[in-house]
């Protein structure tokens, strides 16, 4: 392998990602311009600084949105926010977990009611499954809470 090698991998969500065999690091120098122990990796970028094109900005934006959408905290964050907006101010961890599972799997089947239809398309982030999980859960339908 060399610096210009590229790899195609499949991530946990079934997406194909193209990765380049390259590491770009930023090293922070101290006041004497001597290398310190502070170093971090630059994020991968699609932007060509020599030739600026709209296409490159679109690729950057798409990559950023994909990163946020497929982040591990997206499901719990959206589940909690949507549950609270739909009327349950203090959802239980079980309720949030049910909604997160529906968001990540893209399918929601009401437990103990196989006669009810299945909601969702089976794709990650399906809001039909997420909304059904919120509205049909026993915690959101319970009048005593």
Three-class SS of the chain? CCCCCEEEEECCCCCEEEEECCCCEEEEECCCCCEEEEEEECCCCCCCCCCCCHHHHHHHHHHHHHHHHCCCCHHHHHHHHHHHHCCCCCCCHHHHHHHHHHHHHCCECCCCCCCCCCECCCCCCCHHHHHHHHHHCHHHHCCCC
pLDDT at 1: 59
Q: How confident is the model at residue 135 (pLDDT cuts 50, 70, 90)?
A: very high
pLDDT at 128: 96
Average pLDDT in the chain: 84
Higher pLDDT, 72 or 19: 72
Q: How confident is the model at residue 121 (pLDDT cuts 50, 70, 90)?
A: very high
Beta bridge partners of 20: 6
Q: Is the dihedral of CA 120, 121, 122, 125 positive or negative?
A: negative
Structure tokens of 16?
A: 């194909």
pLDDT at 103: 96
Mean pLDDT (whole number) for 107-133: 91
Whether pLDDT at 145 is above 60: no
pLDDT in tens, 7-64: 788 888 888 877 776 667 777 777 776 666 677 766 666 666 677 788 878 888 888 8
Inter-residue contact 70 to 124 (CB < 8 Å): yes
């Amino acid at each position: 392998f060399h610096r210009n090698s590229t790899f195609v991998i499949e991530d946990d969500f079934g997406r194909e990602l193209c990765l380049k065999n390259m590491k770009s690091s930023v090293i922070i120098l101290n006041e004497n311009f001597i290398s310190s122990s502070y170093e971090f990796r630059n994020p991968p970028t699609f932007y060509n600084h020599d030739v600026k094109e709209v296409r490159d900005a679109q690729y950057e934006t798409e990559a950023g949105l994909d990163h946020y959408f497929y982040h591990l905290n997206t499901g719990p964050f959206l589940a909690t926010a949507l549950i609270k907006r739909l009327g349950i101010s203090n959802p239980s961890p079980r309720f949030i977990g049910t909604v997160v599972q529906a968001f990540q799997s893209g399918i929601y089947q009401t437990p103990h009611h196989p006669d009810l239809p299945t909601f969702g398309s089976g794709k990650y982030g399906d809001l039909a499954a997420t909304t059904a999980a919120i509205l049909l859960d026993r915690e959101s339908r319970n009048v005593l809470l």
